[in-house]
Chain A
């Protein structure tokens, strides 16, 4: 539940403050995995700077036996390994909480508080005495705090050893030995000097069976591999880069021709996002399943090609891992600020299919669906996640694959079909569903057509004629609107006769669900809907219409989801209240609760009849 200080076994949050580039990621990963292996639901949020080495960085771990893994801003335990941020880190510990720091150097008494417990361990000093070389001493200092935490939180040392063995294997025995020695240093010091375990501690549970710890970019990349994508074109940008990195790794694992060792796929690092988008279009025009991964600034640059793909009807998949905008914004913080641009990217009348995964598991599923939808509707499809989903490890059910899956290639005429017809026209609505037939270049002489972003008739010819132009763009509008029935359905949970609802999107999911539980404990019942696709389906409209007040909860300043709902559904403003948080951290339950409560307070008193 909401973290107001009432924490205990398997219900607490800890934050680790370190210096970027000192190997703390390994230490934090080790902690996360230990907790996961103990069967306890856990989440880790990396709060990192746009920097390679030297700036402060944090890692937040939340442990919750009930499975609440949204971010919480209240920390029971702080591991303060960076003297440069002591002041701020000390301030963030809750009352009666604990702060572990490196006591190799004295801590300025002026920054200390008397309502928390300071636990000083001379980690750097011990590491200098034990290890050789500056680099190793720095790295091991961070591994040593894992040892201290093992004692304070009751993590089994054998488990940590097992994890280290899995990481280093037999071939890197010396690394295994030094890492474990560092763990022991911290552990032994803590058992000797501190009261342990702390009241906030870990107890083995059975809460992570059939679950994995995975980030959304990895999951999306896997989805691309399983969907049969063969061309990826991209330009490096935080926080989407790891998606293509993962795709590359998986292609090396799954896509090498067993005989030649050559790659069944092309991963092209483009000169910029414009070119990346163009490459996706070129490959998709040829018939490959092609995608790019980018973030908001990339979508801005790609918009020209996105309009071309919409108008020339080229199936293409765009992963947008959102970060804080506008402009360069805060590249290493999260937001949901690209909802509007993805729905309408490019000049002129355009509208696009957008999928909104709510966790890494859905990144995997939506990636596959995106390729199917793109080919079925012959149009760009966006999969919009964010930094929190994309780059942080989430506890999700194991990914599953249905071997009976057949890619939906949409209406593609092959050589045999072309042989049988008189003449092929690219943009004629033969079936009356707004979707024309397409052909793939090189397949058959009769399949030849001219692709253009300039005005064209339904026969694919250049035009400046009003009627010819209008006929094509009206069909495009019908086509895209019909996709509302095909995008992933909203997740809806209702209770009998609840007049109010919480409506959200993407990564807000876990915070909103936690808030629902708190509200329920207070006797307030809300229905729940998480929107997963655009254009909006009938279900979305019906749900909104069935509630007097829908709180639309999202992570951007301008209520972009709410605006889109107002623009694209008949629902009036009065039914759509707005709750927003957009400071760059993942959303917490208290943001939702504060919003709901503020709305309640501002409501006029009921007038007596």
Chain B
């Protein structure tokens, strides 16, 4: 970990967002993760994404489970509400929170152990409910805090630090999400902030469950030769399917790209996700196609990254429950309590 905290003094020339806040205002406390940890890069990307989206910090809530990844909400959005819950159960907390107050921005951070082992059930059902939540899997294939056991995302044959190969097939969060009906599925790499930031912005804006798997190497327990989640391996087998740009509703779209096909997907609030460097025949709204492509490349040994699938029209938890538009926490008591008159009328049914 780093031992020197950044000075609190802010350079007057630092760029400000529409709220007059600098990126420093979206930072959290100092990370206690290992120096070089992929998670810290993701934290930095999150800070940038939320800042660029002009989200008032107190209108965002960050949630996590347990593990190295789940420690990170302390390191970003220090002026937002945070909830570091229990192992693998962050989706349940997020579901209840979102049910009660649908207007906040919810950012969930999880890891491969938290999501794919102990919390696999909760992840699956949050996907099925299309909970409006950015759900990050900071994926390093290993349990760090307990010193290097394989996680459920470790590939067959990937070796531990001691050289023992993993015998069990992995669970791929991207394929899982596509299978379960996730309405937004992406994969990225902690070492590629340029790709990650627009994905995070699109994921936060997406009015449903945005599953983002981020390969995030563990420098201490899983960055050796023989590991398939190391920096070196990821860089070597990295294959960007499509680079996505996120264009907020107010910004005019200027065609400054040359060559290559550009596809656009319009989000509910008028934002646009623009795909460039698109692979041939790639359609980001074709779930089946995305599944086949990712699966085929995976078998060929490639880590396909990018925003892989998006369904901006999918109905979320609230439309499934048919709840009122107003956040439930803001409903006045007299709209909730029927009162004595109604109770005595009701009593007739029990006579």
Contact = CB atoms under 8 A, between A and B. Distances in A.
Interface of A: 36-37, 212-214, 218, 222, 225-231, 233, 254-255, 257, 260, 262-268, 270-272, 274-288, 290, 304-305, 308, 398-403, 405-407, 440-445, 447-454, 462
Interface of B: 56-59, 61, 73-74, 79-86, 89, 91-101, 103-104, 121-122, 124-125, 129, 317-318, 321-325, 328-329, 331, 333, 335-340, 342-344, 346-347, 350-351
Contact of B324 (A37, A257, A399, A445): A257
A278 B86 CA distance: 9
13 contacts: A37-B351, A266-B328, A270-B125, A279-B95, A282-B93, A282-B95, A286-B101, A287-B329, A304-B89, A305-B89, A448-B57, A452-B83, A453-B86
Contacts of A444: 58
B176 to A, nearest CB: 15
Given A212-B351, A262-B323, A448-B58, A272 B121 contact: yes
Contacts of B322: 262-263
B55 to A, nearest CB: 11
A285 B93 contact: yes
A228 B336 CA distance: 5
Contacts of A453: 84-86
A394 to B, nearest CB: 11
A497 to B, nearest CB: 41
Contacts of B94: 282
A445 B73 CA distance: 17
A188 B317 CA distance: 57
Contacts of A284: 96, 100
Nearest to B97: A282
A591 B81 CA distance: 54
Given A213-B350, A268-B95, A282-B98, 4 more contacts: A278-B93, A278-B95, A304-B86, A451-B81
A286 B97 contact: yes
B339 A233 contact: no
A469 to B, nearest CB: 16
Contacts of A278: 85-86, 89, 91-93, 95-96, 122
Q: Which 3 A-B pairs have the closest CB atoms?
A: A278-B92, A282-B96, A279-B96
Contact of A288 (B81, B329, B343): B329
A286 B331 contact: no
B104 A442 contact: yes
B327 to A, nearest CB: 8
Contacts of B336: 225, 228-230, 255, 264-265
A276 B121 CA distance: 13
A298 to B, nearest CB: 14
A336 B121 CA distance: 31
Nearest to A445: B58
A283 B327 CA distance: 11
Nearest to A258: B335
Contacts of B85: 278, 281, 308, 453
Contact of B344 (A222, A266, A305, A398): A398
Given A275-B91, A287-B329, A403 B339 contact: yes
Which of the listed residues B86, B92, B124, B317 has the most CB atoms from chain A within 10 Å of its own CB? B92
B79 to A, nearest CB: 6
Contact of B92 (A265, A275, A402, A440): A275
A231 B99 CA distance: 7
Which of the listed residues A403, A448, A452 has the most CB atoms from chain B within 10 Å of its own CB? A448
B66 to A, nearest CB: 9
B328 A264 contact: yes
A264 B335 contact: yes
A406 B91 CA distance: 32
A427 B334 CA distance: 31
B337 A283 contact: no
Contacts of B129: 268
A263 B323 contact: yes
Nearest to B321: A266
B130 to A, nearest CB: 13
Given A305-B86, A401-B339, A402-B340, A281 B351 contact: no
B81 A448 contact: yes
B350 A212 contact: yes
B321 A274 contact: no
A211 to B, nearest CB: 8
Contacts of A270: 92, 95, 125
B79 A445 contact: yes
Which of the listed residues A281, A286, A450, A462 has the most CB atoms from chain B within 10 Å of its own CB? A286
B121 A271 contact: yes
